[in-house]
Structure 1
Amino acid sequence: MWKTRSKLLFTAGAFISGFALIQMGMYAGQHIFGWKLDFNVFQICRSLLQNYGIGYMVDALSGLVFLTFGIAGVEAIRQCMATRAAFRRLRRMRDLPLTEALGERYRELGADRIWVIDYAKPAAFTMGLWKPRIVLSSALLSLLDKHEEEAVLYHEAYHMKHYDPLKTWLLQMCATLLFYLPVLRHITNHYKIAREILADNEAIKRTGSPMGIGSALLKLLRMTPANAHLVNFAACSSFAETSINYRISRILDPQQEPVIRLPWRSIMLSSYVLVMLTLMFALALM
């Protein structure tokens, strides 16, 4: 169920975001490069605004389109720079003997895909957009027993295998850019919950028990989260900073599925925005 829910959430977020951004791209291309395109929602909005004598809104519409792409470009560059800077810092902090030992123990996860850093606070996360890596702190490993260590590794390996830092960052950026479609924010939050539960499920499946992932999570919760200070603004999937209540509920009672309430207000508001665009489209064809 959670795998299906995760796919539906990502598909819905990608479809809504993709439709809006493609329309914006068509609008921008038509006015910058002179593309001859019909049935563009934003071009229809522009024509309607001019026809109804509120042409000053045309500049606002154009500003929204170009500002969206400008912010997207800046955010993409900032994310790439933050990720590179975080990896450089973490590379200097690596505990090579522990990294080699853990890499040998979990060889099936891939060569040089697990880094152990010399850090005084417990930390576990998966970071990287194109080639994600699992990062664990030496302080965390000193707290965990073998069963808990396996659970944390397999949890993070699920994020690494499915490129969760990249997917989550893309949804988060689209939710920020298209702020007037608030349902995207809720889709992103629910997607994060689904990915964490699926990663927990993978750890439980690989270790054969929920005890390891549960006790490791509780140990990390007692400590102050330090991941934000380690990676700054780089996209990552953190072991103990997302959807804690849902995960604890499921670990304590695997038979009880957590109930996620639909954000009806945001759905209605976003639907209203889309309906208004559709009406503008219909009026323009009359």
Structure 2
Amino acid sequence: MWKTRSKLLFTAGALISGFALIQMGMYAGQHVFGWKLNFNVFQICRSLLQNYGIGYMVDALSGLVFLTFGIAGCEAVRQCMATRAAFRRLHRMRDLPLTGALGERYRELGADRIWVIDYAKPAAFTMGLWKPRIVLSSALLSVLDKHEEEAVIYHEAHHMKHYDPLKTWMLQICATLLFYLPVLRHITNQYKIAREILADNEAINRAGSPVGIGSALLKLLSMKPAKTRLVNSAACSSFAETSINYRISRILDPQLEPIIPMPWRSIMFSSYVLVMLTLMFALALM
């Protein structure tokens, strides 16, 4: 169920964002590069609106398009730089003996995929866009027993294997750029919850019991875990940042399922905005 929900959420977010961004790209391409598009959504709308002289707000529309792509480019560069800077910092903080010991113990996860950093606060997260790594602090490992350690690592290994930092960042940046489509914020939040539940399930399945993941969560919370400031806003999936209360309740009662209300207002408003943007782009290209 959660796997299907996760796929549906990501697909819905990608399709909605992609539809809006493709329209903007086609608009920009025709105005900047003189593209000749024989068939597109603008042509359909244009045929319906040829008799109406409503071609206004073109300057505002152009500003929205180019501002969106400008911010997207800047954010992509900023995120890559932040991730590289965070990796350099964490590389200097590595506890080499502990890193080597964990790397040997969990060889199946790949070479150099687990870093232990010498840090006085508990921390556990997966970071990186293209080659994510699991990062644990020495303070956290010092209080975890073997079963709790395995649960945390296999939880983060699920994020690493499925490139969750990259996927979550993509949804977040689309929700920010297309702020006038509020349904994207709801999709992003629900996607984060789904990915955490799936990572918890991975840890439970590998350990054969929910005890390890549950006690690890409680220990991490009681120690006031480090915030993401540790990695300077680089893309990461943190072990104890999303829906903690619900995750603990679900570990105690595996049959517990959330009642997720449909954001009908956000859906209707976002649908209206998409239709209006389509019409405005079509009119601007007439």
CA contact (8 A) 1:124 1:238 kept: yes
Q: Is the 8 A contact 1:129 1:166 kept in 2?
A: yes
| Inter-CA distance 52–155: structure 2 relative to 1 (3 Å threshold) | same
1:1-286 equivalences under 5 Å are 1-38=1-38, 40=40, 57-277=57-277
Secondary structure at the counterpart of residue 57 of structure 2: helix
Structure 1 residues not aligned, in runs of 5+: none
Cα distance, 1:167 vs structure 2: 0.3
CA gap of 1:145–1:84, structure 2 versus 1, over 3 A, is same
**Distance in 1 separating the partners of 2:179 and 2:36:** 29
Q: How far did residue 260 of structure 1 move?
A: 2.0
TM superposition outliers: structure 1 runs of 4+ over 4 Å: 38-56, 277-286
Shift of 1:274: 2.7
Judged with a 3 Å threshold, the aligned counterparts in structure 2 of structure 1 residues 111 and 45 are, in CA distance, closer, same or farther, namely same
How many aligned positions are there?
A: 286
| Separation (CA, whole Å) in 2 of partners of 1:143 and 1:218 | 12
Structure 2 unaligned spans of 5+: none
Instruction: Tell me the distance in 1 between the aligned counterparts of 2:66 and 2:47.
Output: 18
Deviation readout 1:210-266 (Å, 9 max, x if unpaired): 110001001111232313221011000000001212211211100121222222221
Q: CA RMSD in A?
A: 2.7
**Aligned mates of 2:147, 2:256 — CA distance in 1:** 24
- For 1:243 and 1:168, how far apart are their aligned partners in 2? 15
**C-alpha distance 176-197 of structure 1, shift in aligned 2 (>3 A):** same
Q: Please give the alpha-carbon distance, in whole angstroms, between the structure 2 residues aligned to 1:231 and 1:245.
A: 24
Distance verdict in 2 for CA 1:281–1:169, change over 3 Å: closer
Check 1:282–1:30 CA distance in 2 against 1; reply closer, same or farther (3 A cut). Answer: closer
**Alpha-carbon deviations, 1:188-218, whole Å to 9, x = none?**
0000000000000000000001110001001
Cα distance in 1 between the residues matched to 2:208 and 2:52: 66
Q: Distance in 1 between matches of 2:45 and 2:75?
A: 27
Instruction: Between the two structures, name the one with larger relative contact order (CA 8 Å, sep ≥ 6).
Output: 2
Q: CA deviation at 1:53?
A: 6.1
Change (3 A) 1:272 1:264: same
Q: CA deviation at 1:150?
A: 0.3
Contact 2:9-2:190 at 8 Å conserved across structures = yes
